[in-house]
Amino acid sequence: MKTVNIHAAKTHLSRLVDDVAAGEEVVIAKNGKPMARLVPFETEAKKRVLGRLAGKIRIPDDFDAPLPDNLLKEFLGG
C-alpha cells in the first residue's frame, strides 16, 4: 500500500488511478495523517438465475453424438 500526500495526489492523480486500477491501494494523507484510501472499483456480479431458459430451448438426445464423416472433414480442414 502506497501513501502519498494531498499535493502529490493532485499532481499525479492520473498515475495513481492507473496504479489503483492495477490492484494497488493508495492512501492519501494530510500532514502525514491518513485521510482517504483509493481502492479499485468493483462492480457487483449479477446473480445467475438457474432454470431461466426452462421450456424455451430443447437439446436433442443425440447432442453429443459423433459428427458425420463429411462434416468432421470440414472441421478438420479436409
Q: What is the reported pLDDT for 67?
A: 87
Q: What is the reported pLDDT for 34?
A: 96
Is 62 contained in some domain?
no
Is 76 contained in some domain?
no
Q: Which ranges of 1-78 would DSSP assign to H, the alpha helix? A: 6-11, 13-21, 69-75
Write out the chain's pLDDT in tens, 78 residues: 899 999 999 999 999 999 999 989 999 999 999 999 999 988 888 888 898 888 999 889 999 999 899 998 998 886
Return the number of other C-beta atoms located less than 10 Å from residue 40's C-beta. 12
Domain count, the chain: 1
Reduce the DSSP state of residue 3 to 3 states and report it: strand
Reduce the DSSP state of residue 71 to 3 states and report it: helix
Q: What is the reported pLDDT for 42?
A: 81
Is 43 contained in some domain?
no
Q: What is the reported pLDDT for 46?
A: 82
CATH number of the domain that residue 27 is part of: 3.40.1620.10
